[in-house]
């Protein structure tokens, strides 16, 4: 395969041609050219930023000048661990993230199952589109919409009064956050569970039935374990996305509904205490690391 | 072996009525307007190794899936020991299936896979353990009980599939091209093993394959499928020696078809002899013709000659290389030869109900 056979070489070729030939002769150069940019991006922007965050967490702020003091101290972490306010906010954030994850898993499974195993190809396409459609609209618009629904004189209470039920006071509360987060992150649970269920060969279902397994046994012993990687993948999304959010608490949470993110935001902006913000921001990181470790321990990744 | 099976079968014939395990009548199924199965009747005897043989799309797998309960028939009945199960769910039928793709549960160990059916039937733990161990021993996988199916080879996986089915002691075991994914050598080993296991446990096997050699070597009886219908049911030798249709003649083994005196004759290659002159075929019962060698292919065990008869047709003849590669014929193209067959050894196709285009 010599380039001499190609008529274009007679014209002398361009720089592009020479580059192409060079990459052909040196596969390592070609590979490097492909891998280095994303790797550099990952190392510089992501890992480096995390490292800076972690280092900054051990600094402090001079209370008089507001300047960052670059001396090593554990004070920030001590505050995070001991001050009741901050501990309480961590509990609330983690609890709601967990509740949202469980809710989404329960809501997503039947939808994903229907999409993957029962719906025909056309209906499946329609459903897939419907599931991801909300993601095309602005996150803010969707949260505001829920604000309108859940507010005291909102759509929900209006509908309840129509059928003669007492109104609910769940606007601007933890309940409202739970509902809105569950709604917003639901597609992130449905899609991986759908993908996991779609991959299960039909013959597994037939084999289970053939061996005497009725619907429930098949679901419990075969379908759920095989859907587990999808559920875990989805829960990583729903859990971490809720854990890191600070907009929904502001918009639908009302007073006394701060999340970890709100504290970080307040310390970066209003309080100008970046070291404390950095220390507090490591909390969800550690939570996620713990969560992934736990998922691994219970063997959730093994079926993949 | 073969003669034993044959005499066995003669015994069975006498008590057929009492010994029928499965009776399929008028079974029909179509998918989205395409008819997969026209109207199938068959009856399988207790303890029999019965094979459904046919090309893909001929309806053999559909028949198996209807018997297993994975599909519901449009019409017809499937009677297992006299009880019609055609419309029952798979878990309400006393049959088990060995799948072509093994269908082993990847999140369970080998032993857990095998125990699955017993658990579903709420067999007591102690009994369960005993039966799983026994099934593992039968397929020679005792050492692999705690392995994951993904750590096994294809042949081992299919043994697990077999053990998982027979541990339930079904009345009828369905095997859907169980060796289809294995390579030739392993397939031949597994054929023998399957046959031995079947003889040992005495469970009735309903075996689906498109491999005619597999069907001939393993079965007590074969049903040859074509185009959603059964063309013939018979013992391997009946199906091979006395095919009832052109399709069967062509699908089971190779054969040449010639028309002589209004009869359409099935000529099996091993029954067509060739020689330089007609002197070789003196005596009673020979039919002798002339032709020319169109092609000769040396194949080690034998040489295959394709001969163009002067009457017009082409026939295939095989000659054993008993005297080494220097065949009795200088296998040159165009070499004139005498072609002969014993009239008793060739079989005329019945009637003219078969259409020509079915020959593959």
Tokens read off for A200: 């299960």
Closest residue in chain A to residue B176, using alpha carbons only = A203
Judging by DSSP bridges, how do beta strands B263-267 and B347-348 pair with one another?
antiparallel
| B120/A213 Cβ within 8 A | yes
Q: Where are the domains of chain B?
A: 2-247, 256-345
Taking contacts as CB-CB distances below 8 angstroms, the residues of chain A near B117 are 211-212
**A–B CB contacts, 8 A cutoff, strictly below:** 64
Output the pLDDT for position A295.
83
| A207/B99 Cβ within 8 A | yes
Half-sphere exposure of B304 (CA within 13 A, CB side): 11
A111 membership: H or E segment, kind and range = helix A84-113
Distance from CA of B186 to the nearest CA of A (A): 23
Distance from CA of A291 to the nearest CA of B (A): 22
Helix axes A274-297, A224-244, angle to 10 degrees: 170
Tokens read off for A211: 């061996």
Q: How far apart are CA B50 and CA B208, in angstroms?
A: 9
Distance from CA of A244 to the nearest CA of B (A): 33
Residue environment code for A166-182, b if the CB has 16+ CB neighbours within 10 A, otherwise e: eeeebbbbbbbbbbbbb
Half-sphere exposure of A63 (CA within 13 A, CB side): 0
Residue reference for tokens 């080993």: B189
Among A210, A229, A299, which would you mutate to test the B interface (most chain B Cβ atoms within 10 Å of its Cβ)? A210
Taking contacts as CB-CB distances below 8 angstroms, the residues of chain A near B168 are 211-212
Residue B327 C-alpha from the chain's centroid: 33
Output the pLDDT for position B41.
96
Output the pLDDT for position A235.
93
| B106/A212 Cβ within 8 A | no
Judging by DSSP bridges, how do beta strands B83-84 and B95-98 pair with one another?
unpaired
Would an 8 Å CB–CB cutoff place A35 in contact with chain B?
no
Domains, chain A, ordered by start: 3-56 (no CATH), 85-297 (1.10.3720.10)
| A206/B70 Cβ within 8 A | yes
The pTM for the full model equals 0.81
- pLDDT tens digit string along B86-112? 999 999 999 999 999 999 999 999 999
Q: What percent of chain B has pLDDT over 70?
A: 90
Would an 8 Å CB–CB cutoff place A224 in contact with chain B?
no
C-beta separation of B53 from B224 below 8 A: yes
**SS3 of chain B:** CHHHHHHHHHHHHHCCHHHEEEEEEEEEEEECCEEEEEEEEEEEECCCEEEEECCCCCCHHHHHHHHHCCCCCCEEEEEECCEECCCCCHHHCCEEEECCCCCCCCCCCHHHHHHHHHHHCCCCHHHHHHHHHHHHHHCCCHHHCCCCHHHCCHHHHHHHHHHHHHCCCCCEEEEECCCCCCCHHHHHHHHHHHHHHHHHHCCEEEEEECCHHHHHHHCCEEEEEECCEEEEEECHHHHHHCCCCHHHHHHCCCCEEEEECCEEEEECHHHCEEECCHHHHCCCCEEEEEEEEEEEEECCCEEEEEEEECCCCEEEEEEECCCCCCCCCCCCCCCEEEEEEEHHHCEECCCCCCCHHHCC
Tokens read off for B115: 């125990």
- ipTM of the predicted structure? 0.82
C-beta separation of B292 from B301 below 8 A: no
Tokens read off for A179: 């509902």
| B107/A201 Cβ within 8 A | no
Q: How far apart are CA B91 and CA B292, in angstroms?
A: 61
| B103/A207 Cβ within 8 A | yes
| A201/B105 Cβ within 8 A | no
Would an 8 Å CB–CB cutoff place A301 in contact with chain B?
no
Among A196, A208, A212, A303, which would you mutate to test the B interface (most chain B Cβ atoms within 10 Å of its Cβ)? A212
Task: Give the CATH fold of the B256-345 domain.
Answer: OB fold (Dihydrolipoamide Acetyltransferase, E2P) (2.40.50)
Between vectors from CA B37 to CA B32 and to CA B43, what angle results, nearest 5°?
A: 150
Q: How far apart are CA A112 and CA A194, in angstroms?
A: 4
Output the pLDDT for position A18.
87
Output the pLDDT for position B355.
44
Task: Name the stretches of chain B with pLDDT < 50.
Answer: 1-4, 12, 14, 353-360
Q: How far apart are CA A171 and CA A173, in angstroms?
A: 6
| B96/A213 Cβ within 8 A | no
Q: How far apart are CA B170 and CA B80, in angstroms?
A: 11
Of A201, A212, A226, the CB nearest to B103: A201
Task: Name the stretches of chain A with pLDDT < 50.
Answer: 1-4, 8-9, 304
Q: Of B256, B246, B275, whose CA–CA distance to B349 is shortest? A: B246
Sign of CA dihedral B250, B255, B257, B261: negative
Would an 8 Å CB–CB cutoff place A210 in contact with chain B?
yes
Q: How far apart are CA B120 and CA B92, in angstroms?
A: 12
| A206/B99 Cβ within 8 A | yes
C-beta separation of A54 from A277 below 8 A: no
Tokens read off for A141: 């618009």
C-beta separation of B95 from B173 below 8 A: yes
Judging by DSSP bridges, how do beta strands B204-209 and B172-176 pair with one another?
parallel
C-beta separation of B308 from B291 below 8 A: yes
Distance from CA of B93 to the nearest CA of A (A): 8
- pLDDT tens digit string along A63-114? 888 788 888 888 999 988 899 999 999 999 999 999 999 999 999 999 999 9
Would an 8 Å CB–CB cutoff place A204 in contact with chain B?
yes
A191 membership: H or E segment, kind and range = helix A174-198
Burial class (CB in 10 A: 0-12, 13-18, 19+), A114: middle
| B101/A201 Cβ within 8 A | yes
Taking contacts as CB-CB distances below 8 angstroms, the residues of chain B near A221 are 105, 116
Would an 8 Å CB–CB cutoff place A82 in contact with chain B?
no
Residue reference for tokens 């374990």: A225
Other Cβ atoms less than 10 A from the Cβ of A26: the count is: 11
Classified as helix, coil or strand, A277 is: helix
Beta strand segments in A114-247, E:
none
Would an 8 Å CB–CB cutoff place A217 in contact with chain B?
yes
Taking contacts as CB-CB distances below 8 angstroms, the residues of chain A near B95 are 210
Tokens read off for B146: 């705690």
| B116/A208 Cβ within 8 A | yes
| A214/B91 Cβ within 8 A | yes
| A206/B91 Cβ within 8 A | no
| A207/B121 Cβ within 8 A | no
Of A206, A211, A221, the CB nearest to B168: A211
Other Cβ atoms less than 10 A from the Cβ of B36: the count is: 21
Q: Of A211, A272, A232, whose CA–CA distance to A68 is shortest? A: A272
Would an 8 Å CB–CB cutoff place A121 in contact with chain B?
no
Output the pLDDT for position B353.
44
Q: Of B129, B103, B153, whose CA–CA distance to A226 is shortest? A: B103
Task: Give the CATH fold of the B2-247 domain.
Answer: Rossmann fold (3.40.50)
Q: How far apart are CA A273 and CA A75, in angstroms?
A: 13
Taking contacts as CB-CB distances below 8 angstroms, the residues of chain B near A216 are none
């Amino acid at each position: 395969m010599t380039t001499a056979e190609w008529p274009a070489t007679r014209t002398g070729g361009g720089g592009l041609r020479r580059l192409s030939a060079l990459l052909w002769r040196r596969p390592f150069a070609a590979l490097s050219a492909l891998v280095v940019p994303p790797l550099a991006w990952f190392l510089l922007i992501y890992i480096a930023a995390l490292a800076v965050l972690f280092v900054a967490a051990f600094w402090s702020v001079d209370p008089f000048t507001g300047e960052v003091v670059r001396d090593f101290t554990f004070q920030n972490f001590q505050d995070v661990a001991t001050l009741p306010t901050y501990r309480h906010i961590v509990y609330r954030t983690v609890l709601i993230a967990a509740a949202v994850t469980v809710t989404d898993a329960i809501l997503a499974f039947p939808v994903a199952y229907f999409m993957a195993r029962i719906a025909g190809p056309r209906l499946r396409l329609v459903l897939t589109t419907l599931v991801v459609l909300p993601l095309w609209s602005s996150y803010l618009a969707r949260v505001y919409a829920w604000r309108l629904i859940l507010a005291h004189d909102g759509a929900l209470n209006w509908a309840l009064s129509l059928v003669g039920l007492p109104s609910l006071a769940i606007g601007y509360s933890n309940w409202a956050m739970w509902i809105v987060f569950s709604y917003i992150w639901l597609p992130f649970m449905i899609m991986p569970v759908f993908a996991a269920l779609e991959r299960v060969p039909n013959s597994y279902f037939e084999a289970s039935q053939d061996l005497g397994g009725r619907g429930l046994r098949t679901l419990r012993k075969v379908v759920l374990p095989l859907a587990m990687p999808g559920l875990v993948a989805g829960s990583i999304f729903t859990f971490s996305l809720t854990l890191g959010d600070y907009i929904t608490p502001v918009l639908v949470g009302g007073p006394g509904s701060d999340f970890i993110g709100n504290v970080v935001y307040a310390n970066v902006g209003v309080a100008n205490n970046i070291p404390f913000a950095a220390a507090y921001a490591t909390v969800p990181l550690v939570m996620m690391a713990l969560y992934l470790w736990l998922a691994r321990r219970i063997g959730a990744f093994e079926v993949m | 072996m073969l003669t034993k099976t044959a005499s066995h079968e003669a015994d069975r014939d006498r008590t057929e009525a009492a010994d029928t395990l499965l009776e399929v009548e008028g079974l029909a199924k179509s998918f989205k307007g395409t008819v997969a199965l026209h109207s199938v009747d068959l009856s399988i005897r207790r303890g029999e190794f019965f094979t459904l043989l046919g090309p893909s799309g001929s309806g053999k797998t559909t028949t198996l899936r209807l018997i297993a309960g994975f599909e519901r028939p449009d019409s017809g009945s499937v009677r297992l020991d006299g009880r019609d199960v055609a419309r029952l769910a798979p878990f309400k039928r006393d049959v088990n299936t060995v799948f072509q793709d093994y269908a082993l549960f990847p999140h369970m160990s080998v032993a857990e896979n095998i125990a699955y059916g017993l658990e579903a039937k709420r067999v007591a733990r102690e009994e369960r353990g005993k039966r799983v161990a026994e099934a593992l021993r039968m397929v020679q996988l005792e050492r692999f009980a705690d392995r994951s199916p993904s750590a096994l080879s294809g042949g081992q996986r299919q043994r697990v599939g077999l053990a998982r089915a027979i541990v339930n002691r079904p009345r009828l075991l369905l095997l859907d091209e169980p060796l289809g994914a294995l390579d030739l050598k392993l397939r031949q080993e597994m054929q023998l093993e399957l046959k031995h296991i079947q003889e040992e446990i005495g469970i009735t096997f309903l075996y689906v394959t498109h491999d005619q050699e597999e069907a001939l070597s393993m079965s007590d009886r074969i049903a040859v499928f074509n185009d959603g219908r059964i063309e013939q049911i018979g013992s391997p030798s009946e199906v091979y020696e006395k095919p009832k249709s052109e399709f069967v003649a062509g699908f089971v083994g190779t054969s040449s078809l010639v028309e002589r005196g209004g009869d359409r004759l099935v000529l099996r290659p091993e029954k067509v002899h060739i020689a330089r002159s007609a002197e070789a075929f003196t005596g009673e019962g020979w039919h002798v013709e002339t032709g020319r060698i169109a092609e000769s292919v040396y194949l080690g065990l034998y040489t295959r000659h394709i001969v163009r008869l002067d009457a017009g047709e082409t026939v295939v003849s095989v000659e054993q290389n008993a005297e080494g590669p220097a065949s009795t014929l200088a296998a040159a193209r165009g070499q004139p030869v005498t072609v002969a067959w014993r009239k008793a050894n060739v079989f005329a196709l019945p009637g003219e109900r078969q259409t020509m285009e079915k020959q593959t």
